[in-house]
Amino acid sequence: MASEYVERASRLPGAVVWTKGAVARTGAGTGDGEAGPAGLVLPDGCMDLLWTEGRLLVAGPDTRAFRPGPGLRGPWAGVRFRPGAAPALLGVPAHELRDRRTDLADLRPGAEVRRLTERIDAAPDPAAALEDLALRLAAEARPEDPLLRAVVAALAAGRSVAATAEAVGLGERQLHRRSLTAFGYGPKTLARILRMQRALALARSGVPLAETAARTGYADQAHLARDVRELAGLPVTSLLSR
């Protein structure tokens, strides 16, 4: 049975369904995404709803690389929400879950979570059952604020925090407060994380690091290397070699 990381687009707009370990049965596509080298999870601005047998958890937004400990080895299924989408579904501000893996029972009634966990444990395809749960949470939640997507798009395109605030019609302090609730950290941190992800994707496609740095808004290759090491905890060359 497959043990690699596998992902596919979700029926929930903007989300990704992924599996890692023996539960991976879909074969719908592979990517680096949540897996990272040797189980390392890199910051990406997202939050995930997670299942492993007997447990439902939420992965909060990371400001640094996360390496699963002995109690978090899986196998796993997950739904990765686009940046800013999960707090409305879960009813909790993103900053309260920053750099944490939290049992869903800490956020929702315990009896409900036990029933949901048992249902997903018993499902022939736990990833599909977890996706059904995510779709149900989305249907019950208030509509996603389109402003959040505009913020992410502007920062991902390399616009400054000031330019992003102006583009969405907010003051910089308002943008910071809204970002803490939606993304778990301020827009400057989100911009760094999105830039690192753009740079890694470009470098993995074969673009030399010096050119990658120039095209993604770093001052130079050394700046790129420092930023990746601070966020990922590994040299950029080590990440790319794995």
Alpha-carbon gap, residue 99 to 108, rounded angstroms: 19
- The pLDDT of 2-6, averaged and rounded, is 73
In a 13 Å sphere around the CA of 36, the CA atoms on its Cβ side amount to: 20
The domain segmentation of the chain, as residue ranges, is 5-140, 146-241
Q: pLDDT category, 89, cuts 50, 70, 90?
A: very high
Please classify residue 198 by burial: count the beta carbons closer than 10 Å to its beta carbon, then call 0-12 exposed, 13-18 middle and 19+ buried: middle
Closest C-alpha to 28, from 38, 19, 15: 19
Task: Report helix, strand and coil shares of the chain as percent, to nearest 5.
Answer: 50, 15, 35
* pLDDT for the residue 69: 72
* pLDDT for the residue 213: 97
pLDDT surpasses 70 at 70: no
- What residue spans of 30-171 are helical by DSSP H? 86-90, 110-122, 126-140, 146-156, 161-168
Q: What is the mean pLDDT of the chain?
A: 90
Tens of pLDDT along 107-157?
999 999 999 999 999 999 999 999 999 999 999 998 888 999 999 999 999
Q: How many CB atoms lie within 10 A of CB 112?
A: 11
Tens of pLDDT along 10-68?
999 999 999 988 554 333 333 334 444 347 899 999 999 999 999 999 999 999 999 87
What tokens appear for 22 in the block? 């023996």
pLDDT surpasses 50 at 99: yes
* pLDDT for the residue 71: 63
* pLDDT for the residue 183: 98
Q: Does domain 146-241 have CATH number 1.10.10.60?
A: yes
Kindly give the pairing relationship between strand 47-52 and strand 55-59.
Answer: antiparallel
